[in-house]
Amino acid sequence: MGLFFLMISDKAVISEKAKIGKNVTIYPFAYIEDDVEIGDDCVIYPYVSVMNGTRMGRGNKIHQNTVLGAIPQDFSYRGDATVLVIGDDNIIRENVVINRATFKDGETRIGNRNFIMEGVHLSHDTHVGDGCVFGYGSKVAGDTEFGIGVILSSNVIVNPQVRIGNGVMVSSGCRVSRDVPPYIVANDNPVRYGGLNAQVLSAHGVDDKIQKHIANAYRLIFHGQTSVFDAVIQVKEQVPDSKEIQNIVDFISGTKLGIIGKQ
């Protein structure tokens, strides 16, 4: 059996019931409640609060004054024992608040390798994929959904139940109240389609031909004179199929709030 170390300050307040993995570092004045699981190789900096219901994977770094598993700021919450599930290798910077779910059959879920900057608030039942970046001071309401590789610039506000697709970048200061389809840049207020997020697509190996197909699809959706659902039919009929085009079609077909820039 290999050696492992728990580098835990005696000035931290940690419940004996909390489950702490191998090679975990916990700095002075951290506060960890009973029903908490912290995976191997995590670092918990001073003044972090890890509240009941938090389930954390391995290799996460949680910076000062962050609160994980906070009670939901939701009038529907009735005291259920709910959860916040965090994956692996996330960096969560100072003064972040992430609420656990409102009801016991739900969960707030954060994936892997996300970077959550200072002052971000992720509300109850938010679901975040892998490799996302949440910029300084961004605020996310409850029951929202983020795909893979989403980037929110600073001070973005995302309203309840909004879905943001894979590979989206939302520019600073935007207020988002409708769904944002995959692979695009969203900017201005009211929020509108600002073109393809070509840099991210190229970084993920999407070739130029597929990017042109995606651009053609969005030309039909955002610049056509039809409803968004008729535009999706045109995309199916006129744009060569690929997994990216299918992602766009599936995302828009599943919208309940409508998409940005369309009535």
Residues 210-221 pLDDT 10s: 999 999 999 999
Q: How confident is the model at residue 62 (pLDDT cuts 50, 70, 90)?
A: very high
Q: How confident is the model at residue 251 (pLDDT cuts 50, 70, 90)?
A: very high
Q: How confident is the model at residue 262 (pLDDT cuts 50, 70, 90)?
A: confident
Q: How confident is the model at residue 1 (pLDDT cuts 50, 70, 90)?
A: very low
Res 6 pLDDT > 80: no
Q: How confident is the model at residue 112 (pLDDT cuts 50, 70, 90)?
A: very high
Mean pLDDT of 108-127: 98
Res 71 pLDDT > 60: yes
- Residue in the block written with tokens 């931290």: 12
Return the bridge partners of 175, or none.
157
Res 229 pLDDT > 70: yes
Terminal Cα distance for the chain, rounded? 62
3-state secondary structure 50-75: ECCCEEECCCCEECCCCEEEECCCCC
Q: Is 140 exposed, middle or buried (0-12, 13-18, 19+ CB in 10 A)?
A: buried
Is the separation of the CB atoms in 118 and 137 below 8 Å?
yes
Q: How confident is the model at residue 204 (pLDDT cuts 50, 70, 90)?
A: confident
Tokens for 25? 């570092």
Res 169 pLDDT > 70: yes
